[in-house]
Structure 1
Amino acid sequence: MNLEQRLLPTKDDQDWRDWLRLSMTKGVGNETARKLLSVFGLPAQIFQTEYAALAEHVPAKIAHAILQCPDAILLSQMDRTEAWLQQPGNFLLSLADPGYPQNLLTISDPPILLYAKGKIELLENKTVAVVGSRNASTQGVLNAEKFSECLSQAGLCVSSGLAAGIDAAAHTGALRGNGSTIAVIGTGADIVYPARNRQLAHQIVEHGCLLSEYALGMPAVASNFPRRNRIISGLAQAVLVVEAAAQSGSLITARMAAEQGRDVFAIPGSIHSPLAKGCHQLIKQGAKLVESAQDILDEIGSSVKMLSPTLQEFSVGRNMPSHKLLTIIGYDPIHIDVLAMRSGDNVMELSAQLLDLELQGHIETLPNGMIQRINAN
């Protein structure tokens, strides 16, 4: 009998306590928990199993831990979770729950418990993950927002990780559309990290969904964030990497997505930009190069064609204003001294023009005297 057949939901709305107890039992991780669930059924049945039977499937130390009565720490966590669940819009989904995201059941390491805040019906929507660098360029942020907005307007949900940079931009753009967004976090569902995204997190809870596999109160631990990436990609049919350095954590998400059988897309950038190296690496490895949101919709089989004003296709490099300096700058970062030489303008005139272009949002000033053109609708 397989895991899905063993896990028939019970009518007891308090069985979440057994799931929480299993998830917090020392030595029992996701893999061990799923093994026990496959053999013995629901957590309540696991805790009623004799030691000898448990010891046939797990080490003796873990079998003893399973049969121990809940300690003060676990009881306190149960009380905390119960109070949290009594708040409107808070949910705890187990592997046996009919509301558990079906896409996650297809990955190799689905979490046994999910804490959700907001519109849990989004967990069943067709989804595209949008990820990228925390230290994103202005152009990268614009691309993430525009692509996510277009995908959301087309009815797709956008999943990401609520990190600074590309993740935050993806959520922001997706909230403008009908498909909304899911933020998968690496802390407890009662903690917002980073703190600068607190207002964005509140908007997501109101109009989208916040999701975590970690117990309430779990702080930001570095090792949690790479693990949560498997959920970001696992919820989705495809993953779009907007901007990533050669050693970016976004490449981990892309690798997990490929292993999960999801499509991987990447936006190309300048060969001189460190933040384009990761995307170019993915494209060399078989990721699909995309220039517009429609490219993604076509690949994943969406019937939506983004032709109406509200679903206007965003394509990198379209609708740029005409300006002599922008033509000279081109699409690669350029040093201000080189720009002065090519334009023939004196420094005072050049600085005034650059300031005007920056205030209009057409260029970005980079470190070490470099200038970068920005493409935006």
Structure 2
Amino acid sequence: MDVQTLRQRLQHEPETLSHKLQASHFVAAQQKLDTALTWQAMADDHVIVTPDSSFYPPLLHEIDDAPTVLFCKGDVQSLLRPAIAIVGSRDASRNGLQQAYDFASQLAAAGLTIVSGMAAGIDGAAHQGCLAAGGNTLGILGTGVEQIYPRRHKQLFIDVRQQGCLVSEFWPDVKPFAGNFPKRNRIISGIALGTLLIEARRKSGSLITARLASEQGREVFAIPGNVLAGDHQGCHDLIKNGAKLVEDLADIIEELPPLLQAHLESLAIEPHLANQDSSELPFSRLLASVGYETTALDVVVEHSGITLDLVLEQLLELELQGWVAAVPGGYVRLKRS
């Protein structure tokens, strides 16, 4: 068929073609709707939440590009509780993982829901810390809720579903796609009162979440680290540009809305957590010789002035008590008091 004949046919059949396209789009939309409703009927804790639903997170209503649908797997009541997001490096250090776990545990114990992206590293540690404290946690996914990614988090997906909620704006069977993960970050920041960054490098994906939180008018918190290490440069940049430097739980609590702050303080949360006197710490002389960055064994021996045999014995005891951890190249200290 030549071009002129084709043009004439299209000119005489525009209405018919338009109707066909509309019908085709309607059928496709109806099929997607049927798929969603079938998924929802599969289990009692499968819930589709839309902006007019009573379970739609209140703070999400305030962002410009709020999701029009959320597929939720778990306790949808978790979407309504005040929350803090914790994000950071996928390739986090032992110290960074411990910080994420500890802050999530403390925030959860204070009654806050912990939000993160179910990724490896800081995300996973934050979810686990919250679960260990008996708190509620929201896993905001860059896949459909029926996809477990990364695969190593299979048990974590099960636990979050039981003690919180898995949430995605993507259809349940959508597989991992690189472009969807930055897109979900606006939900992580948008659903929370503030976002805490731990071990974020420059150009880190978690900095996208921090930028979105700032644009959404939410608090941005960052934990500083060694200025010589590249793991913390993104956090340092945030602090330079106005993010709240965080050393302990009180640094976060005091930035929350007054009514919520008053409620949390009524739970006997101290304004600032006082450090114990070093004399009360186990093996305080040795412990003072182990840094928060990797400290070589010979450095620990030299700084402590203790014999190697006794250093190894005491380090083992400190490791069993959770004060230090053995890492490639030496030991790191995990907590201050």
Which one of the candidate residues 155, 160, 164 is aligned to 2:120?
A: 164
Q: Are residues 1:323 and 2:284 paired?
A: yes
Q: SS at the partner of 2:173?
A: coil
TM-score (structure 2 length as normaliser) = 0.81
Which digits, 9 at most, give the CA deviation of each residue in 1:38-73, with x for residues without a partner?
Answer: xxxxxxxxxxxxx99xxxxxxxx9x986653455x7
Which one of the candidate residues 83, 88, 91 is aligned to 2:38?
A: 83
Deviation at 1:110, TM superposition (A): 1.3
Q: SS at the partner of 1:175?
A: helix
> 1:186 maps to which residue?
142
Which digits, 9 at most, give the CA deviation of each residue in 1:72-110, with x for residues without a partner?
Answer: x76664444222111111111223434322211211211
**How many correspondences in the alignment?**
315
Judged with a 3 Å threshold, the aligned counterparts in structure 2 of structure 1 residues 362 and 314 are, in CA distance, closer, same or farther, namely farther
Deviation at 1:173, TM superposition (A): 2.3
Deviation at 1:316, TM superposition (A): 9.6
Deviation at 1:276, TM superposition (A): 2.4
Range that drifts further, 94-103 or 230-239: 94-103
Distance of 2:97 and 2:66 partners within structure 1: 30
Structure 2 residues without counterparts, runs of 5 or longer: 1-13
Compute the RMSD of aligned alpha carbons: 3.1
Does the 8 A contact of 2:189 with 2:209 survive in 1?
yes
TM-score (structure 1 length as normaliser) = 0.73
Which one of the candidate residues 158, 161, 173 is aligned to 1:202?
A: 158
Range that drifts further, 289-298 or 226-235: 289-298
Range that drifts further, 239-248 or 92-101: 92-101
Does the 8 A contact of 2:135 with 2:163 survive in 1?
no
Amino acid at match of 1:276: H
> 1:175 maps to which residue?
131
Which one of the candidate residues 219, 231, 236 is aligned to 1:275?
A: 231
> 2:202 maps to which residue?
246
Judged with a 3 Å threshold, the aligned counterparts in structure 2 of structure 1 residues 111 and 307 are, in CA distance, closer, same or farther, namely closer
Distance of 2:275 and 2:187 partners within structure 1: 32
> 1:154 maps to which residue?
110
> 1:365 maps to which residue?
326
Amino acid at match of 1:130: I
Does the 8 A contact of 1:150 with 1:314 survive in 2?
no
| 1:32-181 mapped onto 2 (5 Å cutoff) | 68-70=24-26, 77-86=32-41, 87-177=43-133, 180-181=136-137
Does the 8 A contact of 1:143 with 1:316 survive in 2?
no
> 1:218 maps to which residue?
174
Structure 1 residues without counterparts, runs of 5 or longer: 1-50, 53-60
